[in-house]
Amino acid sequence: MTLNPVLRVDTQMIEAVRAHRSLSKRAAREHASRTLALMGIASPEERLRAYPHQLSGGMRQRVAIAIALLHSPDLIIADEPTTALDVTIQAQILSEVQKLVREQGTSLIWITHDLSVVAGLADDVAVMYAGRIVEQGSVDDVLDRPQHPYTQGLINSLPSRNKRGQRLRQIPGMAPDLLSMPAGCAFAERCSRASEVCDQDPEPREVLPGQTVRCFHPGAADAY
Ligand code: SF4
């Protein structure tokens, strides 16, 4: 979600409230103010009177998330909402969002490239490669015992998994062009376990209880 740069925060939030509930402007404003406070925003009344450019990046993201939470939805899909923020602000926002969605009973799909965010925030994870889910399961299972070579490559490339002073391990090659996908497994060109059977398209299958993998040769062995 992005904020409209030419409208004050109160205008945008009141409009969002009244689009779904028949509340007076005053009641809608009070609801907006309460939701900002729930998102850990200090001086919500002052923030309501601000234009987006008068807020910091972290504050803008908090306001955008507060707008998504105004109606206590069943599900929120958040696409890299904290990627541009520094780590401290990101950690604060993650903890506030986690607390709020738990309290409200909202499901949250958080799309991210950051495995530390996944480890700290999620219950379940779905790892995507070339537009498809290649591994899925509980965060603990997938991060502790990844079965797909791509998930293993991602985890092995984390700086914390590499020795100080040495080059970071990386997954060789590049992701395929989504407009001209290769036949068979999309990861085959980069995979050290690829064999003839990988010329076919693997279907997802449960290889461990609760852990589904799209691979002909899943396994715990370190591929990189
Ligand atoms: S299906 Fe084959 S090429 Fe694809 S990830 Fe598994 S082993 Fe590698």
Q: What is the rounded distance in angstroms from the CA atom of residue 213 to the CA atom of residue 206?
A: 6
Q: Phi-psi bin for 162: left (phi > 0), alpha (psi -120 to 50), beta?
A: beta
Q: For tokens 């791509």, what's the residue?
A: 150
Ligand 1 centroid, distance to 207 Cα (angstroms): 14
Q: Tell me what pLDDT residue 123 has.
A: 94
- Return averaged pLDDT per consecutive 10 residues of the chain, 224 residues in all: 90 95 95 92 94 93 90 90 81 86 90 89 95 97 96 90 83 93 94 96 96 95 52
List the residue whose alpha carbon is closest to atom 1 of ligand 1.
215
Q: Tell me what pLDDT residue 83 has.
A: 78
Q: Tell me what pLDDT residue 107 has.
A: 93
Q: Tell me what pLDDT residue 81 has.
A: 82
Residue 215 Cβ contacting ligand 1 at under 6 Å? yes
- For the chain, give percent helix, strand, coil, nearest 5: 40, 15, 45
Q: Tell me what pLDDT residue 85 has.
A: 81
List the one residue out of 23, 16, 22 whose CA is nearest residue 72.
16
Residue 127 Cβ contacting ligand 1 at under 6 Å? no
Ligand 1 centroid, distance to 125 Cα (angstroms): 20
Residue 186 Cβ contacting ligand 1 at under 6 Å? no
Ligand 1 centroid, distance to 169 Cα (angstroms): 19
Q: Do the Cβ atoms of 127 and 134 come closer than 8 Å?
A: yes
Ligand 1 centroid, distance to 212 Cα (angstroms): 14
Ligand 1 centroid, distance to 148 Cα (angstroms): 8
Q: Tell me what pLDDT residue 168 has.
A: 84
Atom of ligand 1 minimally distant from the CA of 150: 5
Distances (CA, A) of 19 to 4, 74, 176: 16, 17, 42
Q: Tell me what pLDDT residue 1 has.
A: 64
Q: Tell me what pLDDT residue 223 has.
A: 44
How far separated are the first and last CA of the chain, in Å rounded? 37
How many residues would you count in the chain? 224
Q: What is the rounded distance in angstroms from the CA atom of residue 6 to the CA atom of residue 36?
A: 20
| Every domain of the chain and the residues it spans | 128-224
Burial of 205 (0-12, 13-18, 19+ CB in 10 A): exposed
Q: Tell me what pLDDT residue 169 has.
A: 87
